Amino acid sequence: MGNGFILHCLMKYNYIKGKTMKVIFLKDVPDVASAGEIKEVADGYGRNFLIPKKLALLANSQAISLVEAQRRTKVRQQAGSEAELLELARELDGREITLKARVGAKDRLYGSVTSGDIAAELKDSAGLVVDKRKIELAEPIRQLGSEEITVRLGKDIAPKIRVTVIEEKGSE
């Protein structure tokens, strides 16, 4: 390799000769760092892997200030969304919903009541939009009766709702 290649690398990656380099991670890298973190890594790892794959940027004052601004914006957005989640949790907590289903012998349902059915009923009856993946249902409900279910909205936000399954009239 000639001096042209080395000069190219020096200019492209702002590489300063040494044993380690400080980088800002743009994406999560398993067992190394998470996005937004500033760390020192080995030269070769930074030059040959992280920077070319756009997983990290060379840490300079401009890049650091950009990452700090993004972090502050993200914190503000999370605070706003957490307030909305707390409001939704307050509305959901203790709410009872009733679902009708066709019933066979021994009060067993022909189908089952899934988290998607519960989310749809919450939207129809109360106007509350909840993602079906947030409803913690160990297995679909296949019996008539009442069950208490947790809705995991956030890390520490988990209101409980009561779901009652009743027989649909005229199913026979």
Whether 172 is covered by a domain: the verdict is: no
Helices (H), the chain: 3-13, 43-45, 61-92, 115-126
Helix (H, G, I), strand (E, B) or coil at 99: strand
pTM, rounded to two decimals:
0.57
Series of mean pLDDT values for 10-residue runs along the chain (172 residues): 58 62 89 88 90 90 85 83 85 90 85 91 87 90 91 87 87 47
Q: What is the pLDDT of residue 10?
A: 54
Residue span of the structural domain in which 116 resides:
86-167
Whether 65 is covered by a domain: the verdict is: yes
- Among the listed residues 141, 135, 136, the one whose alpha carbon sits nearest the alpha carbon of residue 120: 135
Whether 125 is covered by a domain: the verdict is: yes
Q: Which residues pair with 65 in a beta bridge?
A: none
- Per the structure, how many domains does the chain have? 2
Q: What is the pLDDT of residue 6?
A: 60
How far apart are alpha carbons 13 and 57 in whole angstroms?
9
Whether 16 is covered by a domain: the verdict is: yes
Which tokens sit at 153? Answer: 């909205």
How far apart are alpha carbons 163 and 166 in whole angstroms?
10
Q: What is the pLDDT of residue 4?
A: 61
Which tokens sit at 93? Answer: 């907590």
Q: What is the pLDDT of residue 171?
A: 46
